[in-house]
Amino acid sequence: MTGDDRYARQRLIPGWDQDRLAAATVVIAGVGALGNEVAKNLALAGVGHLLLCDPDTVAPSNLSRCVLFSAASGDPVGRGKVQVATEVLHRLAPQTRVTGRTRDLTTGIGLGELADADVVVGCLDSVRARLDLLSRCALVEALLVDGGTGSWGGEVRIRRTTVEGCYACTLTTRERGRSDVPWSCADATGDHAAAAMVATTALIAAQLSLAVLGEVVGRPADSGIIVFDGGTGQTRRVEVTRDPGCLHHRPLGTREPVVAGSRSTVAELAAELPPGAEPQAWTEFIVPGAPGERPRTTSRILDAAGDTRLCDLGIAPAEVLPVRTTEGDYRWMRLSS
């Protein structure tokens, strides 16, 4: 340790391992208020690689809670959240490599990337997005540290394996199917307006960051859900019983690597597959219709023209694709990065 070591103080923490942090990759899904704060914390602490994903642009209402947007050069309003955050993080912590994806979660981050990450952090603001992230993490058994804020507190949910009960297990079937409205998890009023302020954001983001840092340096937090009441300072652990009807407990089987990546063409992918195999995308895309007919949506990758790049169909890097075989069952093919 030297006097000009920016990590000198945190190296004094018993069990700390700066090298493990420098080698770690953390996915941050959602770069709103929580995502800003978590990304700032992890970058300052020296996490080596952050993968940020958010499809949205900066709005004026973000500025009271988002440290990275407030520190942007020029007016960040209207610019992509991921782009602004990436620029500011580079100034704040140049040793941290930041990969940004201005896309929604499913098209932005491949299942292989979730599987490879040391930790996936959920910083999302709708039930639908949380369930999507939970579902994709469950498919590859990625460790998920998920947060949500309410008016004066919030929740932190840690899910380590698909054997455990999960956030979705705590919801009713109707809630699991609800539409994609911003919904503050911890707001006991049930009001769908996502009330929030920076102090609450900082409280929950600190807990998420501690969970990530602890995990990486070998001091893992327990799985489960903890509710924080910022007004009283009290915390409460929620016992989660696994719901047999919850669908988020079925990891994929063996993943077979292929040479093709998301920048490969449909034809290049097809050349690697057995005859008759049908690779599918996780989200639908539009292909031209037959002569005289309108364009149509499909998830069959081979419906796209052979020279189309997979990324242009919304397929993320290192995605794991379901491939239906001629026998009618599925194999799981992992694209290269």
> Per CB under 5 A, does 137 bind Zn ion?
no
Binder among 89, 129, 131, 166 for Zn ion (CB under 5 A): 166
Return the number of the residue (109 or 169) whose C-beta is nearest Zn ion.
169
* Shortest Å distance, C-beta 245 to Zn ion: 9
Return the number of the residue (69 or 167) whose C-beta is nearest Zn ion.
167
Size of the site for Zn ion (CB under 5 A): 5
Candidates 104-112, 118-126, 167-175, 185-193: pick the segment binding Zn ion (CB under 5 A). Answer: 167-175
Query: What does the block give as tokens for 67?
Result: 């440290």
At which residue do the structure tokens 């929580």 appear?
34
* Shortest Å distance, C-beta 178 to Zn ion: 16
Q: What single DSSP character describes residue 303? A: G
The secondary element (H helix, E strand) that includes residue 13 is none
Integer Cα distance of 34 and 202 in angstroms: 7
- Residue-wise DSSP of 44-56: HHT-SEEEEE---
Let me know: does 285 contact 295? Beta carbons within 8 Å.
no
* Shortest Å distance, C-beta 179 to Zn ion: 20
Return the number of the residue (129 or 166) whose C-beta is nearest Zn ion.
166
Return the number of the residue (169 or 202) whose C-beta is nearest Zn ion.
169
Return the number of the residue (162 or 298) whose C-beta is nearest Zn ion.
162
Integer Cα distance of 26 and 208 in angstroms: 12
Site for Zn ion in 238-257 (CB under 5 A): 246, 248
Measured from each CB, the residue nearest to Zn ion is 246
* Shortest Å distance, C-beta 114 to Zn ion: 17
Return the CA Rg of the chain.
21
Rounded to 10 deg, the angle between the 198-216 and 33-45 helix axes is 40
Residues in contact with Zn ion, shown as a per-residue x/- string from 204 to 243 under the rule CB under 5 A = ----------------------------------------
* Shortest Å distance, C-beta 159 to Zn ion: 9
Let me know: does 53 contact 31? Beta carbons within 8 Å.
yes
Residues whose CB is less than 8 angstroms from the CB of residue 163 and which lie 6 or more positions away in sequence, other chains included: 242, 249
Three-class SS of residue 315? Answer: coil
Candidates 15-23, 76-84, 160-168, 311-319: pick the segment binding Zn ion (CB under 5 A). Answer: 160-168
> Per CB under 5 A, does 169 bind Zn ion?
yes
> Per CB under 5 A, does 168 bind Zn ion?
yes
Return the number of the residue (49 or 178) whose C-beta is nearest Zn ion.
178
Sign of the four-CA dihedral 203, 76, 192, 101: negative
Go through 61-72 and write b for each residue having 16 or more CB atoms within 10 A of its CB, e for each that does not.
ebeebbbbbebb
Return the number of the residue (166 or 186) whose C-beta is nearest Zn ion.
166
Query: What does the block give as tokens for 9?
Result: 């103080």
Footprint of Zn ion (CB under 5 A)? 166, 168-169, 246, 248
